[in-house]
């Protein structure tokens, strides 16, 4: 994969995303990476701007109750991310001089920071030549390098593959370009090969063999526990205090066992708490 060609393509096709501003701090980039993990760019733009204005440094978030962070998370989905980021802000403020450390090993000790996030922050915030592997990168490598339409299950090999591609200089820009190519051109369905800078792509040279592994699971939302959890959280986000159980029960009446299960899981995850008088509130607001 010729790095200069990919980086050249990135130079003219890079999206103007606010967290790519060179003035962004490690903390601001960390916030963007956490938000982007399971939510599309278009839905992250506005919340990210609000968050970095409201909480420009970790200590600004750390002094807030967790519920306030969950409220600001709004409908970004998978709200445990917000809770973990709040925990992370406390550790950063207390132990790391109110900034995100710049080495992967230390970042991996922080709450909610996994392999991908640690490397993404090291690369995009601190310019380090570390491999950054997300779903898009895995797909581009599967096609362009291995000649397969879809990547296999995530494994350590993904990092090795990405590391082997990194150029001697300009590695962070190359990594950003690879991710961008997967997001804009080498998409899961209907890759736009005619507009792709990787004309020597192995999958295309092999005649685009069809995926032979297990079919990709479609992500359902309607009717799932995740939907019910979201409805319950909506009630609590919409109030500044606690609510009684009846206010929660009305949001999902078609399957009361499912509703109870969803509420229990919110309690277990620490997103919701029960007050001493038996009412329900967001974490830290009891």
Q: Mind telling me the catalytic residues?
A: 33
Q: How far is the CB of 177 from ligand SF4 (least distance, A)?
A: 12
Question: Torsion angle, CA of 39/45/46/52, rounded to 10 degrees?
Answer: 100
Query: Toward ligand SF4, which CB reaches closer, 9 or 55?
Result: 9
- How many of the other CB atoms lie within 10 Å of CB of 257? 7
Closest CA to 212 of 160, 148, 270: 148
Query: Toward ligand SF4, which CB reaches closer, 196 or 281?
Result: 196
**Residues between 112 and 171 with contacts to ligand SF4, criterion CB under 6 A:** 140, 143-144
Q: Give the separation between CA 82 and CA 222, rounded to whole angstroms.
A: 22
Query: Toward ligand SF4, which CB reaches closer, 29 or 176?
Result: 176
Query: Toward ligand SF4, which CB reaches closer, 22 or 207?
Result: 207
Q: Which two tokens stand for residue 80?
A: 């445990």
Candidate residues 29, 30, 176, 201; the one interacting with ligand SF4 per rule CB under 6 A: 201
Q: How far is the CB of 4 from ligand SF4 (least distance, A)?
A: 16
Q: How far is the CB of 180 from ligand SF4 (least distance, A)?
A: 12
Q: Which stretch binds ligand SF4 (CB under 6 A): 61-69, 168-176, 199-207, 259-267?
A: 199-207
**Residues between 3 and 62 with contacts to ligand SF4, criterion CB under 6 A:** none
Q: Give the separation between CA 123 and CA 173, rounded to whole angstroms.
A: 9
Q: Give the separation between CA 145 and CA 160, rounded to whole angstroms.
A: 13
Q: How far is the CB of 115 from ligand SF4 (least distance, A)?
A: 24
Q: Give the separation between CA 136 and CA 251, rounded to whole angstroms.
A: 36
Distance set, CA 180 to CA 12, 183, 184, 216, 267 (Å): 12, 5, 6, 22, 37
Candidate residues 196, 228, 263, 266; the one interacting with ligand SF4 per rule CB under 6 A: 196
CB 63 within 8 A of CB 284: no
- The number of residues that bind ligand SF4 (CB under 6 A) is 13
Q: How far is the CB of 2 from ligand SF4 (least distance, A)?
A: 12
DSSP one-letter code for 218: P
Per the document, the length of the chain is 286
Residue 80, Cβ density class (10 Å: 0-12 exposed, 13-18 middle, ≥19 buried): middle
**Residues between 172 and 191 with contacts to ligand SF4, criterion CB under 6 A:** 185-186, 191
Residue 135, Cβ density class (10 Å: 0-12 exposed, 13-18 middle, ≥19 buried): middle
Query: Toward ligand SF4, which CB reaches closer, 81 or 143?
Result: 143
Provide the binding-site residues for ligand SF4, judged by CB under 6 A: 140, 143-144, 185-186, 191-193, 196, 198, 201, 203-204
């Amino acid at each position: 994969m010729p790095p200069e060609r990919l980086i050249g393509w990135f130079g003219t096709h890079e999206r103007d995303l606010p967290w790519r501003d060179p003035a962004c701090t490690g903390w601001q980039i960390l916030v963007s990476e956490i938000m982007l993990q399971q939510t599309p760019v278009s839905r992250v733009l506005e919340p990210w701007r609000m968050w970095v204005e409201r909480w420009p440094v970790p200590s600004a978030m750390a002094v807030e109750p967790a519920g306030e962070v969950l409220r600001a998370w709004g409908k970004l989905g998978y709200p445990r991310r917000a809770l973990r980021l709040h925990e992370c802000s406390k550790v950063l403020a207390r132990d790391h001089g109110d900034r995100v450390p710049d080495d992967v090993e230390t970042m991996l000790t922080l709450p909610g920071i996994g392999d991908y996030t640690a490397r993404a922050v090291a690369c995009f915030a601190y310019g380090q030549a570390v491999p950054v592997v997300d779903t898009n990168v895995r797909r581009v490598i599967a096609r362009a390098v291995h000649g397969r339409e879809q990547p296999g299950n995530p494994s350590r090999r993904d990092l090795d593959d990405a590391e082997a591609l990194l150029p001697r200089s300009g590695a962070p820009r190359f990594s950003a370009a690879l991710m961008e190519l997967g997001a804009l051109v080498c998409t899961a369905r209907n890759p736009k090969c005619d507009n792709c800078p990787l004309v020597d792509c192995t999958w295309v040279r092999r005649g685009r063999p069809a995926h032979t592994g297990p079919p990709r699971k479609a992500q359902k939302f309607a009717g799932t526990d995740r939907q019910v959890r979201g409805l319950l959280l909506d009630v609590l986000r919409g109030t500044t205090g606690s609510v009684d159980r009846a206010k929660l029960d009305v949001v999902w009446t078609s399957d009361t066992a499912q509703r109870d299960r969803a509420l229990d899981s919110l309690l277990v995850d620490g997103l919701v708490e029960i007050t001493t008088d038996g009412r329900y509130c967001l974490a830290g607001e009891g």
